[in-house]
Chains A and B, each alone.
Chain A
Amino acid sequence: MKPVVSPPRLIDADDSVGDLMREAKRDYEVSLDHTSAWRRYRDRPSRSVWLRLAVPSLAVASAAAGWLVLYGHLAARSPDLVATAEPVMHRVAHAAPAASVALPSTDPAQEQVREPVQNGKLPRTSNLEPRGASPVVDDGANHAVAPPPSAPSVDCLAFARSGDAGAAERCFETQASSQDLSAEVALYELARLRRDVLGKPADALLALDEYARRFPKGNLSGEVLFSRLELLVKLGRNDDVIRASDELLKSASGAERAPEIHLLRGNVYSHALGDAASATREYALARVAPGRVGDEAAFLEAVNLEKLADPRAADAFQSYLARSDARHRVEAQAHLNALKQNAPATP
């Protein structure tokens, strides 16, 4: 049988359908944050009050009826049997449930207590999101009592939540020494902790560099390389930003976030290197993106054209104002008015 050759993918095509699908793919992945998703899921309103009331009531009523029927049946047969059965039933009713799988709990007060799942059934409100997945948020619970960092199931962010960011850093460093996916996550979280909580961007960059060295094709490598760019900007290493972003744009993960990278490069050219022409080129590449990135890029492109005294500046502001999602509408209108006033009078 003749083997089937895979057809070229529509999404890779250099036409309008390909562009549309690539843009749609980015849209599908926007705002998928596991932390907020988990919170929304946990705090979602009850689907039905009646179900919550009726189901337990029915269960209790059925159990009571069952007991009565059984008791009546046994009593009719033999009073002695009832006397024997009673303690046995009592023991069965109060027996501890058999735990099969331990799952994490959302209750911060029970930080290290594993929740048993009975007979493999996962409760609807059980805690699938392991605690500590959220960013550093103080939930008011006392997390000071945590296991030593070497323990395999330790929640490093619990240290940060309890105010001991140093312990959290050491904990992540320990976890990062392994070779599996948890090491990847630990290095990424370590960088976030150092950057956002400890205020050590240089050390955060070291963690990301280590990630890139150890896991060049890791699960988080796209995110890591982009975070690395942001850190380089923060550290003022502008030449490194341009070089690293050039490489990132050539990679598959970079291509997915190309508009964001071009926007960042435009900002570096515009604000740090004072190169309005290069900034304009970068912004032009980023303005096709939907949402905030495209909006920001379109506006800044017009601003830089104005800086360059380019005659296309007025048109750029006008086309920006035609956008339905223009967030700098007032500012853009002011620029456009100024340009019109300063324009030389045509004979």
Chain B
Amino acid sequence: MGIPLVIFYVAYLIAVAIFIIYSVFNIYHLVRFGYLNLANITIIFFYLFIAAGILIISWEYISQIDWAMQIPIGPAFTPEANGPTNFFK
């Protein structure tokens, strides 16, 4: 019995979706209300470049994880497991 690890993955995807929505709003404001000079355009593209970089690097790690695993609720705290009972020994 435990918490499916995939729950964290779903929460992550929701957080990424919110990140994308807020990024679009911020970029919209820069384009709509800021003067579209070279500095402004450079900042927008730099932002998108780094954001894409973070997402790609994250995906490299995330794709290697087995999301079918479960986080044990009870057994983690039994002497058989590597729980806190053994931790202080």
Q: Do A and B come from one complex?
A: no
